Structure 1
């Protein structure tokens, strides 16, 4: 069920990793190394992806390289949203990828890229086409964020609020489908670029959109999907039943699964962005999920025949 395993999400973004708890990322580096080792032990042939950088920062990558992290991953990922949050032009995408390639010999995947419809749906539709023109052929994986708008009743996983203008509210307009499941103008445009472009869609715990999402993904011709299994959610009642249902529903796609979010009771601070007190516990979670959803015997043939990550 799993094509690749991603270690955390946007570790250089304070919305996902608290830099005040871990200044300079030594604790993240230790955790990532342990997770990489655990995933490799559980399935030696499964590609391990360093959680997508946001912002795209060669200095951050060099920091982790100096701490040994790149010895325990097989792919480096980047995230970019130049029309919404980043302070660079969309036409700089190829340059941004080359900056990371200059800092590592590992393959570079684009595991989140998107444009919101906050200002106008026409902007998002244009953004799909422009992103495809800039990135197809430049990266082995390109995953659009996202299929669905984030429901207004759900909080965005970010620390941006009204003080930063429209930044926070743009999180709720990144989908190709509105919250009610109706298509936006960008949906048809996106379908013209599959399977070269995939989707990143986060499913919340017991997400009611799961089955409809699968129907849309197949209709659009999506092959590569990125989603997550939350370490924090693993402590909820019936967590494994939900994980099983989610992964079973996604079995027809090549899934990059992201492991992230610290359980509050295991963090140095009681927050999902905190470094854990015992990083070994995160590594154990990663290994258990790989053993459950990508065991060696089940995945050997798939990984052997899969398109190379390079």
Structure 2
């Protein structure tokens, strides 16, 4: 069921990694290196991607290379939200990609790009079209974030939540489909950009939207998807039942699974949480290996499908 794996999510963003506990990202680099090695041993040839960075920072990628984290990766990834959170303009996408290509020869993905409808749906409608123009042909993977709006009763994954003001509330309006499952203006245009553009959709534990997501993605012509399996959720009751159901539902798509989120009882710090470096990074690597063995393609199928899925020669590149 796996097309590729991603190690962590936005490691250079304090909402996803506690930089107060790991100021030079040495612990993250070691954890990523061990996880990449474990995935490679669990399923040789399965593409491994360093977690998408936000902000786009070539110095972070250079740091990861110097610390050996890229030695067990096949690709690196970036996230960009220039109409919502970043201090650069939408038309800067080509130059932001070039900044990363200057510091690594690894394949480059855009594993999250999207536009909130917090202010107006017309902004997302325009932004989808222009983003597709700027990115298709420049990278092999473009994951639009996201299919669904985040339900207002659920918290967004940030450090300071409501204290962030409007920046926080933009998280709830990133979807092409509203919480009540009605379609936004941009939805009707999305199929014009598939299959070149895929989706990134995070599913919460026992997410009630899973089957609807599958139906919608097929309707839109989506062929590849990025989602996550949470190390923290692994310790919930019936976790493997939920993981199995999620992965089985997504079996018709090329799935990039992101492994991330430290269980509270496994983290460093006085008040450890999902952003904490783990006490023992080998435990995270073991989780990555176990999930990879559970959901990786069978050896014969992997040889046929996993390598082409990387898109090593993107159209127009």
TM-score tier (shorter): over 0.9
Match of 1:192, SS state, is helix
> Does the 8 Å contact 2:150/2:172 carry over to 1?
yes
Q: Distance in 2 between matches of 1:56 and 1:288?
A: 30
Displaced runs of 4+ in structure 1, greater than 3 A? 160-165, 304-310
Q: Distance in 1 between matches of 2:289 and 2:161?
A: 35
Residue equivalent to 1:13: 13
In the TM superposition, residue 162 of structure 1 has moved relative to its aligned partner by 4.1
Q: Distance in 1 between matches of 2:55 and 2:310?
A: 28
> Does the 8 Å contact 1:108/1:139 carry over to 2?
yes
Match of 1:301, SS state, is helix
Q: Deviations over 1:153-173 (max 9, x none)?
A: 000001244444310000000
Residue equivalent to 2:249: 249
Which of 293, 301, 304 lines up with 1:301 in the alignment? 304
> Does the 8 Å contact 1:227/1:258 carry over to 2?
yes
Match of 2:226, SS state, is strand
- The 5 Å alignment of 1:4-153 reads 4-153=4-153
Q: Deviations over 1:34-70 (max 9, x none)?
A: 0010000011110100000100000011111110111
Residue equivalent to 1:286: 288
Distance change >3 Å, CA 115–CA 94, structure 1 → 2: same
Q: TM-score, normalised by structure 2?
A: 0.96
Match of 1:280, SS state, is helix
Q: Distance in 2 between matches of 1:152 and 1:308?
A: 36
Q: Distance in 1 between matches of 2:190 and 2:160?
A: 28
> Does the 8 Å contact 1:58/1:100 carry over to 2?
yes
Structure 2 residue 229 is matched with structure 1 residue 225:
no
Match of 2:175, SS state, is coil
Q: TM-score, normalised by structure 1?
A: 0.98
Q: Distance in 2 between matches of 1:268 and 1:309?
A: 38
Q: Distance in 2 between matches of 1:62 and 1:75?
A: 14
> Does the 8 Å contact 1:18/1:273 carry over to 2?
yes
Residue equivalent to 2:274: 272
Moved more, 158-167 or 63-72: 158-167
Residue equivalent to 2:235: 235
Q: CA RMSD in A?
A: 1.1
Matched length: 310
Distance change >3 Å, CA 260–CA 307, structure 1 → 2: closer
> Does the 8 Å contact 2:2/2:297 carry over to 1?
no
Q: Distance in 2 between matches of 1:182 and 1:49?
A: 34
Distance change >3 Å, CA 91–CA 119, structure 1 → 2: same
Match of 2:304, SS state, is helix
Match of 1:303, SS state, is helix
> Does the 8 Å contact 1:43/1:296 carry over to 2?
no
Structure 2 residue runs of 5 or longer lacking an equivalent are none
Q: Distance in 1 between matches of 2:309 and 2:143?
A: 17
Q: Distance in 2 between matches of 1:91 and 1:138?
A: 14
